[in-house]
Amino acid sequence: MKKGILLVITGILLSISQLYAEEEIGIYEKLDQAVESGLQFTNDKGETVYLDDIIDKPTVISLVYFNCPGICSPLLDGVAEVIDRTDIELGKDYQVLTISFNWDEGWELARDKKKNYVKQIDREVDLESWKWMVGDSTNIMKLVQSLGYGFKKEGKDYIHAASIMVVSPEMKISRYLYGTYFLPFDLKMAVVEAAAGRSGPTINKMLKYCFSYDAEGKKYVFNITKVGGSVVMFFALSLFLVLAFSKKKNKKSA
């Protein structure tokens, strides 16, 4: 009897794990872990730069690809807006690195894209502290793996999540901010934490599980299949355990 119960429970748990196992696409947080050192990229002036030399203050990293037809543009709009609205100073308190994870894109495209987005910033800031870069496949893959950023190529485009990461001057990951719109207070707190070498938990982790991005509609939608499936699996397992142990208890009483 015990063996049978264990086999059924194991089967249910395996079904749940297979249904909701971490996919290649997504953000897998690596708080307090350091970004790999020695990574080199090409900036929007065509110069080779090393992340170790660049990251000397709290740094916001946005991973995108410049020819993205979907979520990257709203994300970069969100970055430009929060730079414009926050009361911390770009260049003094923090910097931003926008890096393409498409190794086929050149630095000229990074230069042209930067011109478009910095126009959205009305306040006086050090625009050189919003750095745009490209890289080769080796350096890009090492970076995204360090940050826990998973994406997948589909045809000429990529499927990927929307998030920015904040790292400390020591290159340790301190915070993930999800979505395409960022509150000035959230960015400020993330920068303050990074400057102090602290990391913060992500409240949006549950939201990321419950919502998925609709590339066509360019918005997040409630994932009723995933959430509903989890609820059904939970209650099915609970009901099975109650019935199994009740039957066992009645048998002993008899």
146, 63 contact by CB (below 8 A): no
Residues whose CB falls within 8 Å of the CB of residue 7, separated by 6 or more in sequence, listed in order: none
| pLDDT reported for residue 198 | 87
Give φ, ψ of 147 to 5 degrees: -90, -10
- The structure tokens listed for 152 are 């997948």
The alpha carbon torsion through 221, 223, 225, 227 (nearest 10 deg) reads -150
What is the C-alpha to C-alpha distance for residues 197 and 1, in angstroms, rounded to an integer?
A: 53
Residue type, position 59, single letter:
T
The DSSP annotation for 83-144 comes to: HHH-SSPBTTTBEEEEEES-TT--HHHHHHHHHHHHTT--S---GGGEEEEE--HHHHHHHH
Please, what are the averages of pLDDT over each run of 10 residues along the chain (254 residues)?
48 45 74 96 97 97 96 97 96 97 97 96 95 98 96 92 96 94 94 89 52 49 62 71 68 60
φ, ψ for residue 195 (rounded to 5)?
-65, -35
With a CB cutoff of 8 Å and minimum separation 6, the contacts of 218 are: 70, 71, 74
Q: How far apart are CA 54 and CA 188, in angstroms?
A: 20
CB of 47 closer than 8 Å to CB of 61: no
Say what the pTM is: 0.72
pLDDT of residue 18: 43
Residue 158 and residue 84: Cα distance in Å, rounded? 29
DSSP secondary structure string for all residues of 157-184: EEE---EEEEE-TT-BEEEEEESS---H
Evaluate the CA torsion angle 71, 72, 73, 77 in order and state its sign.
positive
Dist. CA 164–CA 187, nearest whole Å: 10
Question: What tokens were used for 103?
Answer: 């190794």
CB atoms within 10 A of CB 122: 8
CATH number corresponding to 26-202:
3.40.30.10
Give the span between the Cα atoms of 186 and 77, in whole angstroms.
Answer: 16
Place of tokens 């478009």: 116
